[in-house]
């Protein structure tokens, strides 16, 4: 089987509440340009629209986005709408609220609980939806999420949101939110080299039946700048053994940590998209998994 013929179904499925998705998804952050939170040149509109359509053709049915994913001339939500609306049946679009940016791109303070409805409605408008499939509360320096998550739970009861998740949180935040309303996923920074406490949180989510969706799983320390190419020798060794890229090893490792693990690699490059999706079919040995899991990055 060639990488071009592998679809997102190779990664298996997980159910977010009542929505079943392939575990290999797509992250929209990089669609707007090199680094959406900086003044990099805008992306090629036709190219990224083609990538989005190709992703769906390859079986990707879970797209992660946010209204604050924009750069000069480009908005991730607008690109998604232009490429995919009217949306195919079964496509799940997850978004985030909490942070905000002004038109210049500068970050605004964390939204107050009473401001979250406005952010939800802005995502609805940009995406052309009458409800949002999944909204993650992106936590920015909050000791307690009770008021913010409670406000989102009210919007869920009102029918504006189908399912709720959390992003950038600690175990205590998860417990606090679960006491208010069901939490279908946690979205945190995580990847090879993560600290043991982060691995423990991944396991806790699995025990509670909560999906774990890591961001920067491929980029690592490169974060919003993308993969740095400075991979550990252990990662490169596994990649050579399988004849694949280091990025594909990182994605395969993520998915093999547990059935509740989802992947949302993002790219504006059609070749990278094909490689990312093909990583869902890569199976690492138990020894390779153990060696990669034992790695620790002092900067993680």
Query: Which residues form the catalytic set?
Result: 69
Cα–Cα dist 172/225, whole Å = 30
Answer yes or no: are the C-beta atoms of 137 and 149 closer than 8 Å: yes
What residues pair up with 209 in beta bridges, in sequence order?
Answer: none
Answer yes or no: are the C-beta atoms of 256 and 8 closer than 8 Å: no
Cα–Cα dist 87/73, whole Å = 23
Query: What is the helix (H) or strand (E) element at residue 21, kind and residue range?
Result: strand 19-22
Picking from 185, 215, 96, the residue whose alpha carbon sits closest to that of residue 148 is 96
Cα–Cα dist 236/247, whole Å = 10
């Amino acid at each position: 089987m060639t990488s071009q013929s592998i679809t997102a179904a190779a990664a298996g499925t997980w159910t977010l509440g009542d929505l079943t998705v392939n575990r290999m998804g797509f992250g929209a952050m990089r669609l707007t340009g090199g680094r959406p939170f900086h003044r990099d040149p805008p992306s090629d509109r036709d190219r990224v629209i083609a990538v989005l359509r190709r992703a769906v053709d390859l079986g990707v049915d879970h797209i992660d986005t946010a209204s604050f994913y924009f750069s000069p001339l480009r908005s991730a939500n607008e690109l998604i709408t232009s490429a995919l609306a009217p949306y195919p049946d079964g496509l799940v679009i997850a978004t985030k609220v909490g942070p905000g940016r002004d038109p210049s791109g500068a970050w605004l303070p964390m939204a107050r609980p009473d401001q979250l409805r406005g952010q939800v409605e802005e995502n609805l408008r940009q995406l052309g939806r009458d409800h949002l499939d999944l909204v993650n509360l992106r936590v920015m320096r909050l000791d307690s999420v009770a008021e913010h998550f409670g406000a989102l739970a009210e919007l869920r009861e009102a029918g504006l949101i189908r399912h709720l998740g959390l992003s950038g949180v600690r175990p205590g935040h998860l417990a606090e939110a679960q006491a208010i309303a069901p939490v279908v996923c946690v979205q945190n920074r995580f990847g090879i080299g993560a600290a043991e406490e982060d691995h423990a949180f991944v396991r806790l989510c699995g025990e509670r039946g909560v999906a774990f969706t890591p961001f920067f799983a491929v980029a690592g320390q490169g974060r919003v700048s993308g993969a740095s190419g400075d991979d550990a020798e252990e990662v490169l060794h596994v990649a050579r053994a399988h004849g694949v890229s280091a990025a594909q090893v990182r994605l395969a490792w993520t998915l093999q940590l547990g059935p509740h693990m989802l992947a949302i690699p993002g790219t504006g490059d059609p070749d990278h998209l094909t490689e990312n999706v093909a990583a869902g079919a890569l199976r690492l040995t138990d020894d390779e998994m153990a060696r990669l899991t034992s790695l620790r990055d002092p900067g993680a």
